[in-house]
């Protein structure tokens, strides 16, 4: 690790200047190693939290798009959308649909 190399070089320089600094340098190195370990643990926790939040967003989106682990159109009825958007709902569907594409279509309101 680059940091370890730098720390050992500093320790060597301190010992070369004054051999009595060797113990102080070793104590400082131990303290720095500990602080690096603490920082690494915090970084790992932060990364884990970030990944869990991303996974949660993906799961919420999957639940919205595939209710009951099924296709949305097999669970929901178009009538609720028709009541909310009226006849423009059909225009929106017609404009967005590409019947020869083999991909899912997501329409945002």
Q: Are 47 and 36 in contact (CB under 8 A)?
A: no
pLDDT in tens, 34-70: 999 999 999 999 999 999 999 999 999 899 888 888 8
In whole angstroms, give the CA distance from residue 39 to residue 52: 20
CA dihedral 88, 91, 92, 98 (to 10 degrees): 170
Q: Is the pLDDT of residue 26 over 70?
A: yes
In whole angstroms, give the CA distance from residue 7 to residue 34: 13
pTM, entire model: 0.56
pLDDT computed for residue 15 by the predictor: 83
Return the DSSP state at 64: H
Domain boundaries along the sequence of the chain? 2-67, 77-109
Cα dihedral 75, 79, 81, 87 sign: positive
């Amino acid at each position: 690790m680059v940091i370890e190399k730098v720390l050992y070089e500093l320790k060597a320089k301190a010992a070369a200047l004054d051999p009595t600094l060797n113990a102080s340098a070793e104590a400082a190195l131990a303290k720095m190693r500990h602080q690096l370990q603490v920082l690494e643990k915090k970084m790992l926790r932060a990364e884990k939290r970030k990944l869990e939040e991303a996974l949660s967003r993906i799961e919420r989106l999957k639940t919205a798009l595939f209710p009951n682990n099924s296709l949305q159109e097999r669970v929901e009825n178009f009538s609720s959308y028709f009541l909310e958007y009226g006849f423009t709902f059909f225009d929106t569907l017609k404009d967005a649909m590409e019947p020869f594409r083999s991909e899912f279509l997501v329409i945002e309101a």
